[in-house]
Amino acid sequence: MITIIKREILEHLQSLQFVILIVLSILLFSTNGWVTVKKHHERMTRYSDAVTQVAREPSTVQTSLFMHPNPLVLLADGGSEYQPPGYTLGPKGKLNTMPAGPENFKMPAGPELDWAFIIKVVFSLYVLLLAFRGISGEKEAGTLRLVLSYALQRSKLLMSKYISILLTVAIPLVLGALVSLCIVSIFIPEAFSLSIVPRIGLMILLAFFYLSIFAFLGLFVSSTVSRSSVVLLILLAAWILLVVVVPNVSGILSNKLAHVPSEYQTAARVSPILQEQVWGRIDKVKERVKRGELTTEEAIKKETDQAFEEGQEVVRNHYAVYENAMKRRADVARNLSRLSPTALFQYASESLADTGPGCEGRFLEDAKTYSATYDSYVLQKVGRLVGTSYWSFSTDIRLDGKNIFITSPSPQEYQGDKSDFPRFAESAPDLARNMQETFLDLAGLSLWNLISAAMAFWAIWRCDVR
């Protein structure tokens, strides 16, 4: 078996595919390192400036919480450009996302050149290119009959081919990864600590776990079909479906499966809700004033404050319902795309790198914890908690022939010393938790490995070597 593995590796190393893969790998991984360095520098500068600004100008009206830039976008970017740089936090836990989006919205949206992209697209294709002639090539050349005439089990032949493919791919993969890590560690040494070493190691293991599926698939088709060119055609069709079509088409399919009222429908309801929930309540206060139930300015303002707060809460919930429905739709899209091993690998990589939606979820938990501290600080300084709002309303109420100017309540700025302003601290990424998040994706990848391996073994046992 070892002899076959050695022979196979030697053949692969001499092949054109391998040479090109080495060159591509070094080019792509070094570009990845270079891009990460630039991106991290820019994000760190923005983050430091923003955090300094918050510390310099603490506010009881609204504060800003920023996400610490993660250097592990190197492994899987996780759509970091579309993630908000942070959230604004007002009293009563009112969290609002900061504007997010790519720096240049006119630029075509392409995938980030991270490790996950290079492995899931380029390496998976090259594994197929190395595997497609594995059995069919030997059959065409007549050597398969010869090899199997020795006391060599077919399963051992298949395993040897499989191991040799993965070992061959390991060379450019590890080499490329080292190049990328060298660039990043030289230019941003502060971003690298011992804590990220296990994540990088796990990422490499995950890559092999993913590529193993394609090696088995390649050998399966190669054992089933006799002509190498047809094998390659079938494998490329499968590659297009698994790597390109399924992960992407699930986005638009989820629109059909997870019904969300369109953004227009949500927007169109805002005005009636404001009318009904805010002005309807204010009208009731006005009627009570007319009936003489409220006789002082203080009593009126107390009632209108409550009416504004309650009304605005309903509108906020209306927005939240839409936002949650959109998140659910995105989850449906992600779950649909999990039919493809490529999507499973992508999501597992994001969890390992602590990027993507999981990372934002952790940040939001921290923000919610901090909001309690912030609220008690505001309460201690200002004496009352008033939530921030998108809107401000004003009206007049007539009491005893005099107009009382009513405005919706807004938080107050404390004018005294704010040196004891509580600082927001983001919790450190937890590898155990991230591993838990990858469980579903790892299970999916295991299933894919199991099925493709079973198919490959079944195909080689039934293969007609004549």
Partner 1 sequence: MLKAIVQREILEYLKSSKFLIGLCLTVVLVGMSTFVNIGDYQQRRQDYLDATQNLTEDFGVKIFRKPQILSTLVQGRDRELGSQVDISYLRLPMQTSGYMGEFASQHHRYVSGFTSVDFAFVVRVVLSLMVIFLAYNSISEEMAQGTLRLVLANALPRGQLLFGKFIGGLFIILGCLTIAILVAVLVMVLHPAILLDRETSLRILGMWVISALYLGVFFTLSLLVSTIFNRPSIGLLVLLQVWIVVIVIYPNVSVILSRHLMVLPSREELEDRKRALFEPYERQYKETVEAFQKMVESNEIDLEPSRKNLEVNAQRTELYHRIDGEYSRQLTRQMLFARNIGLLSPSVLYDSVIQRLTGTDIREFDKFMEGVERHWYKDTERAKLMYTDYKAYQEYKMPEFTYTTQSVTESIVSTLPQWIVLFLLSAVFFAGAHAVFMKKSIR
| 289 and 397 Cβ atoms separated by less than 8 Å | yes
Nearer to partner 1, 321 or 382 (CB): 321
Per-residue binding letters, 314-333, with partner 1 (x by CB under 8 A): -----x--xx--xx-xx--x
The reply on whether position 398 binds partner 1 by CB under 8 A is: no
Query: Is 273 one of the binding residues for partner 1 (CB under 8 A)?
Result: no
* Token pair listed for 69: 């830039």
| Residue 319 identity (one-letter amino acid) | Y
Toward partner 1, which CB reaches closer, 155 or 324? Answer: 324
Q: Does 73 bind partner 1 (CB under 8 A)?
A: no
Tokens describing residue 256: 């059909």
Q: Binding string to partner 1 for residues 91 to 130, with x set by CB under 8 A, is what? A: -----xx-xxx-xxxxxxxxx-x-------xx--x---x-
133 binds partner 1 (CB under 8 A): yes
Residues 180, 33: contact at Cβ < 8 Å?
A: yes
Closest CA to 147 of 138, 155, 159: 138
What token pair was written down for 440?
């579903």
| Residue 404 near partner 1 by CB under 8 A | no
Is 250 a binding residue for partner 1 by CB under 8 A? The answer is yes
Distance of CA 244 to the CA centre of its chain: 18
CB closer to partner 1, 192 vs 319 = 319
CA-based radius of gyration for the chain: 30
Measured distance CA(435)–CA(201) in Å, rounded: 13
| Backbone φ/ψ region at 149: left (φ over 0), alpha (ψ -120 to 50), beta | alpha
Burial class for 221, CB neighbours closer than 10 Å (0-12, 13-18, 19+): buried
Q: Of the listed pieces 5-13, 68-76, 243-251, 427-435, which binds partner 1 according to CB under 8 A?
A: 243-251
Alpha carbon distance 434, 114 (integer Å): 19
In this chain, which of 1, 10, 20, 379 binds partner 1, going by CB under 8 A? Answer: 20
Interaction between residue 265 and partner 1 (CB under 8 A): yes
The single residue among 168, 223, 228, 342 that binds partner 1, judged by CB under 8 A, is 228
Residue 38 sits in the site that holds partner 1 (CB under 8 A):
yes
Residue 121 has φ and ψ, to the nearest 5°, of -100, -60
Residue 154 vs 161, nearer CB to partner 1: 161
> Is 248 among the residues that bind partner 1 (CB under 8 A)?
yes
**Residue 85 bridge partners (DSSP):** none
Q: How does 432-463 read in b/e, with b if 16+ C-beta sit within 10 Å? A: eebbebbeebbebbeebbeebbebbbebbeeb
> Looking at 4, 204, 249, 451, which residue binds partner 1 (CB under 8 A)?
249
- Report how far residue 404's alpha carbon sits from residue 394's, in angstroms, rounded to the nearest whole number: 10
CB of 297 to partner 1, least distance (A): 18
Site for partner 1 in 331-360 (CB under 8 A): 333, 337
Q: Which residues bind partner 1 (CB under 8 A)?
A: 16-17, 20, 24, 28, 31, 35, 38, 79, 81-82, 96-97, 99-101, 103-111, 113, 121-122, 125, 129, 133, 228-230, 232-234, 236-237, 240, 244-245, 247-253, 255-256, 262-268, 270, 319, 322-323, 326-327, 329-330, 333, 337, 390
